[in-house]
Amino acid sequence: MRTHRIALIPGDGIGAEVLPAATAVLHAAGRRHGFTLAYDSFDWSCERYLREGAMMPADGLERIRHHDAILLGAVGWPGVPDHVSLWGLLIPIRRTFRQYVNLRPITVLDGVPGPLRTATADVDLVVVRENVEGEYSEIGGRLNRGFPEEMAVQESVFTRAGVTRVVDYAFDLAARRRGVLTSATKSNGIIHTMPFWDEIVAERARLGVTWSQEHIDALAAKLVLHPERFDVIVASNLFGDILSDLAAAVAGGIGVAPAANLNPEREFPSMFEPVHGSAPDIAGTGVANPVGAIWSAAMMLDHLGHPEAGDEVRAAFRAVLAGTAIRTPDLGGRATTGEFTREVVQRLE
């Protein structure tokens, strides 16, 4: 029987509540499809930061480098600045392991009402977010702190190699889907990096994929008005971050949105995590929606070479949402995380 070694990082808040849901579903999928998952769990979190002064140990990345994948809950907690938790854990993992594609599928699920008046039944899109460079850079600094002329400068970094590989990934994905790619830009206002991005998108375009570019502000509006028109959206780190939360909200809520941080060359482990954060407002009450984490786990199965198992997991939680009233309070139900998860597991058994 094939065994996959998985590094589990529950993190903070509801991260520790949704990961057990994901592993329960993975276990059921593995029994059906003849594979097992062996977990090593790591307590890297804000709690650890407050106790030991670091989100993870100095050799943390070395300890998970040889795992087949990483499954993460959420990191961030009041009392620890968000840039500390993000740059102390998530961003080092994404960058050191060259996880340059952040993949965020967005689908309207039957039984999950969206916030819009317009019918959004046909929404099925994927945001491909550049995940290791762009606007989120360490280059810059602050000067004259405390004086009237205090200032902050932050440089965006776009490299030909970095843009090309993520754009190629997005065109490939579009070719395997409905063949439509939209590139998020802002080359009217950001006059160096964004025209560079646009040029590379145009160079990498390929036959069989219809593509266009949209300024990010107009694209945000169109995503709300006509989300069903989009297939694959490729975007820089910042634009992709914002667009994918927006699109997830349009499709029915942040609690159901999954994400994969991929190293497509498989030189390093890829990481799978729900889009949502640690939700301090509901943490500890047992009602976190596990769908984002379960769906992320299904993406991990795709990546590990079990796409039929991934499809079954997706079909299982979709069936619960479409065919029963069992759902967590964020979707208008009364189920706990555990009750919803048991329904999904039962459908797999």
With binding defined as CB under 5 A, does residue 302 bind Mg ion?
A: no
Q: Which is nearer to Mg ion, 241 or 312 (CB)?
A: 241
What's the rounded Cα separation, in Å, for the pair 289 and 337? Answer: 6
Catalytic entry in 231, 241, 302, 330: 241
Stretch that binds ligand NAI, among 116-124, 146-154, 156-164, 286-294 (CB under 6 A): 286-294
- What character string, x for contact with ligand NAI (CB under 6 A) and - otherwise, covers 163-192? ------------------------------
Considering the candidates 68, 136, 169, 302, report the single residue annotated as catalytic: 136
CB 32 within 8 A of CB 312: yes
Q: How far is the CB of 111 from ligand NAI (least distance, A)?
A: 16
Options 45, 99, 289, 336; binder of ligand NAI; rule CB under 6 A? 289
Q: Which is nearer to ligand NAI, 193 or 278 (CB)?
A: 278
Is 205 exposed, middle or buried (CB count within 10 Å of its CB: 0-12, 13-18, 19+)? middle
**Residue 231 is among the residues annotated as catalytic for this protein:** no
| Token pair for 213 | 């570019």
Q: Using the rule CB under 6 A, which residue among 60, 114, 227, 277 binds ligand NAI?
A: 277
Q: Is 296 in the site for ligand NAI (CB under 6 A)?
A: no
For residue 36, the minimal CB distance to Mg ion (Å) is 32
CB 201 within 8 A of CB 235: no
Q: Total number of residues binding Mg ion (CB under 5 A)?
A: 1
Stretch that binds Mg ion, among 92-100, 241-249, 302-310, 328-336 (CB under 5 A): 241-249
User: Using an 8 Å Cβ cutoff, are 331 and 255 in contact?
Assistant: yes
Do strands 232-235 and 180-185 pair parallel, antiparallel, or not at all (unpaired)?
A: parallel
Contact with ligand NAI (CB under 6 A) among 183, 270, 278, 341: 278
**Secondary structure percentages of the chain, helix, strand, coil, to 5:** 45, 20, 35
Does 130 contact Mg ion by CB under 5 A? no
123 near ligand NAI, judged by CB under 6 A = no
* Residue of 186, 231, 302, 330 marked active site: 186
Which one of 82, 150, 155, 203 is in contact with ligand NAI (CB under 6 A)? 82
The option from Mg ion, ligand NAI, none interacting with 316 (CB < 5 to 8 A, set by class) reads none
Residues touching ligand NAI: how many (CB under 6 A)?
23
> How far apart are the C-alpha atoms of 113 and 253, rounded to whole Å?
9
241 binds, among Mg ion, ligand NAI, none (CB under 5 to 8 A by kind): Mg ion
Residue for token pair 């939700």: 279
Q: Which is nearer to ligand NAI, 30 or 76 (CB)?
A: 76
The number of beta carbons lying within 10 Å of the beta carbon of residue 302 is: 18
Is 222 a known active-site residue? Answer: no
Six token digits for residue 125: 């899109």
Among candidate residues 321, 298, 294, the one with its CA nearest the CA of residue 309: 298
Look at residue 242 and give its three-state secondary structure.
Answer: helix
In 238-288, which ranges are E strands? 258-262, 270-274
Q: Where are the beta strands (DSSP E) in the chain?
A: 2-11, 35-41, 69-74, 101-107, 124-130, 140-143, 151-154, 180-185, 210-215, 232-235, 258-262, 270-274
Tell me the sheet residues that pair with 40: 7
Q: Residues in the chain, how many?
A: 349
Q: With contacts defined by CB under 5 A, name the span among 41-49, 124-132, 192-200, 237-245 that binds Mg ion.
A: 237-245
**CA separation, residue 152 to residues 132, 145, 190, 297 (Å):** 22, 9, 18, 39
Choose the one of Mg ion, ligand NAI, none that binds residue 126, judging by a C-beta under 5 to 8 angstroms depending on kind.
Answer: none
> Please, how many CA atoms are within 13 Å of residue 191, restricted to the half-sphere of its CB?
1
Looking at 17, 68, 241, 273, which residue binds Mg ion (CB under 5 A)? 241
- Catalytic positions, written as ranges: 136, 186, 217, 241, 245
Q: Which residues bind ligand NAI (CB under 6 A)?
A: 14, 18, 74-77, 82, 90, 254-255, 273, 276-282, 288-289, 292, 328, 330
